[in-house]
Amino acid sequence: MKLLERWPLISAVLISFLIVNVITIFVETSTNFYFDSKAPDFSSINNIPERKQAFFSYVELQLQEVNQPIREAREKLIVIKEKSSLRYADKRFINWLAEKYRITSEKNTYNKEQQMLDELLLRIDKIPSALVLAQAASESAWGTSRFARKANNYFGIWCFKRGCGLVPDQRGKQQLHEVRCFKTVKQSIAYYVKLLNSSDSYTELRKIRATLKQNNKKLSAEALLPGLAKYSERGDDYLNEISSIIRYNKLEEKYPSHAE
């Protein structure tokens, strides 16, 4: 009889216990939700030179896939620029890309599409492989960091909406940022490339790249480094680290990028 009298209390305790366990299981498994099964387990490669080569080969392969639509869009823009007049379809294509790459223009500006076209040609272009590989290596600890393994984030990219990523262990009490989660490593690379090609923080990088191309010079990763001054709070120390990775691993020689 006493047991029956206590049954509502016992039921409430059991339900609470089940809810807590379900939430715990969800939280623990959700950190692996974004795990990309296609990405190699670089931490399992004990030989360091082999690990580095496996990392570079994997990231370069993903980068080539990311670069393909960028190359196609740029080629189409060059064809449009050579036309004496723009068709309606050309203007729609320009405006679509302008929105994608955060280019704004006054609605009634004369030759608005031509102006946006010039800006798009500054933005829609490749980032040298050597630079991508070096930053990926630095930011992801050669693909072995927690953010690389659990969030497919190879570039230390932040986000500021609660639940958009993983909370850094060393985040300050007053800080709100998280490290963004990506469904695949390729998605991470695509986001990073678009960031450099669209953010106002990297206007200088795009100007340096355009000057190299205009002078038909090698698209050097090290030449673009000054344009990454705002990428890290570490400033020059960060740029020097990226430069060291490029030089030590001879990335410019192994993965050359030529002006197109």
- Distance CA(15)–CA(26), nearest Å, equals 17
Where exactly are the structural domains of the chain? Answer: 42-71+125-254, 83-123
Question: Which pTM value belongs to this model?
Answer: 0.81
Give the end-to-end CA distance of the chain in Å, rounded to a whole number: 86
* pLDDT tens per residue, range 18-27: 443 433 333 3
Q: Does domain 42-71+125-254 have CATH number 3.20.20.70?
A: no
Average pLDDT for 97-121: 82
Categorize the per-residue pLDDT at 8 as very low, low, confident or very high, splitting at 50, 70 and 90.
Answer: low
DSSP state of 43: G
pLDDT of residue 133: 98
Strand, coil or helix: 27: helix
Categorize the per-residue pLDDT at 174 as very low, low, confident or very high, splitting at 50, 70 and 90.
Answer: low
**How is residue 199 written in tokens?**
């953010």
